[in-house]
């Protein structure tokens, strides 16, 4: 990725109606739904994640369904009481889908709504979600500069001159892998993920409940794929969403097998 140009992208970024526009090295970039689809394969359609967008959504009731013990009283919206599937999906939300710089162990209302959609296989408008997140990044210090790899792909798509620009390669320490899951108190036993220390409070004997900010890397690795124009006809669900649902189904199946 190109860290210096990512900073320029955000510095010059504005909104033209519903579209993002910016200017880099003599190139005007207007990112409409057409460009989003060409670059990511994502269409500007589906459930928009914003306050009161989901009918009958009750964050407390939903959070209880995500807990290892749904009958336990909800005193705070933290990760320590989550079942394995919800814990891993929460990790994907705050580090990849809508990344932020800190407070990863606590749910925002947006986190809970995204988790609800992923678990219930509700089609999310990811273009709206990412644009909204990029808008927050300009106003809130906690959000840093998200989607650096995506923005780097946008630069390539708009043929911005990248010669002699600083290139930063992601390191293995930036990956969400088994080692990192172990550090937040999870372990793989007989092919299924479980908490260290079994069903004890928090995340088990590792003592890292609520301390993900100190344990997790500051970036997450996403593959830098070559730009390939999408085919003219797409399935109702994008490949990105099908991949997320597939991963969720695998995790759920492992947990069912583990408990049986």
Tell me how far apart the alpha carbons of residues 78 and 14 are, in angstroms, rounded to a whole number: 34
User: Residue with structure tokens 């959609």?
Assistant: 117
The model's pTM: 0.69
Domain that holds residue 159: 3-259
Q: Sign of the CA dihedral 192, 198, 202, 205?
A: negative
Q: Sign of the CA dihedral 10, 11, 17, 20?
A: negative
Average pLDDT on 150-164 reads: 94
Share of the chain above pLDDT 70, in %: 70
Q: Where are the alpha helices (DSSP H) in the chain?
A: 3-12, 33-40, 59-65, 84-92, 109-119, 126-139, 148-157, 178-183, 212-215, 239-259
pLDDT in tens, 104-117: 778 888 899 999 99
Taking CA 253 as the corner, what is the angle to CA 248 and CA 256, rounded to the nearest 5 degrees?
A: 125
Question: What is the model's pLDDT at position 34?
Answer: 95
User: Residue with structure tokens 């925002």?
Assistant: 108
DSSP class of residue 124?
A: B
The residue count of the chain comes to 260
Do residues 65 and 81 touch, judged by C-beta distance below 8 A?
no
DSSP class of residue 101?
A: S
Q: How confident is the model at residue 68 (pLDDT cuts 50, 70, 90)?
A: confident
Domain count, the chain: 1
Residue 64 has pLDDT above 80, yes or no: yes
The answer to which of 68-77, 83-92, 102-111, 233-242 has the lowest mean pLDDT is 233-242
Give the max Cα distance, the chain.
61
pLDDT in tens, 177-232: 777 777 777 888 888 778 776 543 333 333 333 334 334 333 334 333 334 444 44
The total of other beta-carbon atoms located within 10 Å of residue 55's CB is: 5
User: Residue with structure tokens 């007989």?
Assistant: 190
What is the average pLDDT score of the chain? 75
């Amino acid at each position: 990725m190109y860290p210096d140009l990512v900073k320029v992208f955000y510095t010059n970024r504005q909104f033209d109606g519903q579209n993002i526009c910016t200017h880099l090295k003599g190139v005007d970039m207007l990112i409409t739904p057409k460009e989003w689809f060409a670059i990511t394969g994502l269409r500007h359609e589906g459930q928009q994640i914003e306050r009161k967008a989901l009918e009958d959504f009750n964050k407390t009731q939903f959070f209880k369904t995500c807990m290892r013990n749904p009958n336990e009283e909800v005193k705070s919206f933290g990760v320590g009481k989550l079942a394995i599937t919800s814990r891993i999906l929460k990790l994907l939300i705050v580090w990849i889908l809508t990344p932020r710089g800190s407070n990863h162990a606590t749910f925002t209302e947006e986190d809970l709504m995204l988790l609800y959609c992923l678990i219930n296989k509700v089609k999310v408008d990811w273009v709206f979600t990412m644009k909204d997140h990029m808008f927050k990044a300009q106003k809130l210090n906690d959000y840093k500069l998200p989607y650096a790899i995506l923005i780097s792909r946008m630069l390539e798509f708009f043929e911005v001159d990248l010669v002699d620009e600083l290139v930063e390669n992601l390191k293995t320490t930036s990956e969400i892998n088994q080692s990192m899951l172990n550090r937040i108190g999870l372990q793989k036993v007989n092919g299924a993920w479980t908490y260290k220390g079994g069903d004890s409070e928090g995340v088990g004997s590792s003592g890292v409940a609520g301390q993900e900010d100190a344990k997790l890397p500051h970036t997450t690795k996403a593959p830098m794929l070559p730009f390939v124009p999408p085919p003219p006809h797409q399935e109702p669900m994008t490949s990105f969403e099908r991949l997320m649902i597939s991963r969720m189904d695998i995790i759920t199946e492992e947990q069912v097998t583990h408990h049986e």
